[in-house]
Amino acid sequence: MELKVVCPCGQKFAFDVEPVDGQMPFTVNCPSCNADGTAAANDLITAQFAAAPPTAPSPRTSGRLRISLPTPAVTATVTNDNPAPRPGAFRQAAAAAALNPPKKSSFGMGLLGGFIGALVGAVIYFLVFKYTDWQFKLLAVGAGALAGWLAEYLGKGEGSKELGGITAIFVLVGIIGAQYFVTLGWWHHINDLELKAAQAEYSLSVTAAKEAVQAVATGTDAEIRAYLAKKAGDAGEQTKLTDITSEQIKDFRENQLPEFKELASGQLTQAAFEQKYELKTTQTEAEKAANENSFKSIFLVLLLSKFNLVSLAAAAGVAYKLSANA
């Protein structure tokens, strides 16, 4: 009869045998794990005998005495270089397989892991670039490694090309998004500094005007000469009183001193001052739109820089390799 044995390790093997007294005449071993499969083979023999219909005695032999000759020993060769296992090894292997079933991979959990890893990596990338001086673009590779590892871990070894490709896309979107918001924050910071500087210009001018009006209380040439020499010294110039010319005194009296008096007294308001010197402290909607377009152009240039493209490609490659088990 032909027997087909299935080992607990999953290996299937078949062989022909002539049973002796309803049992195996030799031992058989699994060709994969070398476990003893004799007991399982005996069970199959018993099952086949039980299912076989009873055989009627032949007319030629009816009423005659039949002499049973001893059945010659049947040997079988199982190709396996490993030594025969100890008794009960087959059952122990079955018990171990039952206690430790193989883990089933999960494409969905792998996607979740890749998404979470890419998100966390992008947030870390954003925080490092925004709040520290450590501007290291290859940090993107770390984000890719985190996403790839988490996809492989939660996916329980899914290791498919589809999972690797989607995880790589997650990483690229996350890193580019982090770079976008870092650049946007930097752009707004520069614009805010310019607007704040324009707004502070009026306050600084009022302070300087009060100082000038106080120093030139009566408006004499001596007061003006002393004031101008002091301002030159504050600017780092070594100027003597005799170095101040009559033309400088006249220009200060006719052009600068009147405005200083208006600022000190409050006659020249902040709005009038900003309009006079064309200071931009606010932006119109058109200016905001033009400013936004300028930002997009600058970001595109930074994004397509050679070093940035290399870092993005490296991050996506690491994520793909880890999550696809490539």
Q: pLDDT digits over 44-96, tens only?
A: 888 888 776 655 554 444 444 344 444 444 444 444 444 444 545 555 555 55
pLDDT score, position 35: 85
CA atoms within 13 A on the CB side of 203: 5
- Rounded to an integer, the average pLDDT of 105-115 is 92
What is the rounded average pLDDT for all residues in the chain?
81
pLDDT score, position 251: 92
pLDDT score, position 60: 47
Residue whose entry in the numeric block shows the structure tokens 């932006």: 283
CA atoms within 13 A on the CB side of 324: 17
- 232 pLDDT band, cuts 50/70/90, is confident
pLDDT score, position 170: 97
pLDDT score, position 121: 95
pLDDT score, position 179: 92
Residue 299 has pLDDT above 80, yes or no: yes
Q: Measured between alpha carbons, how far is 27 from 303 in angstroms, rounded to an integer?
A: 69
- Rounded to an integer, the average pLDDT of 10-32 is 85
The answer to whether the Cα torsion of 132, 133, 134, 138 is positive or negative is positive
All residues at 6 or more sequence positions from 244 whose CB lies less than 8 Å from its CB, including other chains: 224, 225, 228, 229
- Rounded to an integer, the average pLDDT of 314-321 is 95
- 126 pLDDT band, cuts 50/70/90, is very high
**Would you give the distance in Å from CA 252 to the centre of its chain?**
63
Task: Give the least confident one: 12-26, 99-113, 234-248, 285-299.
Answer: 99-113
Rg of the chain on CA atoms, in Å: 46
pLDDT score, position 154: 93
Residue whose entry in the numeric block shows the structure tokens 């010294």: 233
Share of the chain above pLDDT 70, in %: 83
Identify whether the C-beta of residue 135 lies closer than 8 Å to the C-beta of residue 129.
Answer: yes
CA atoms within 13 A on the CB side of 25: 15
Q: pLDDT digits over 173-191, tens only?
A: 999 999 999 999 888 888 8
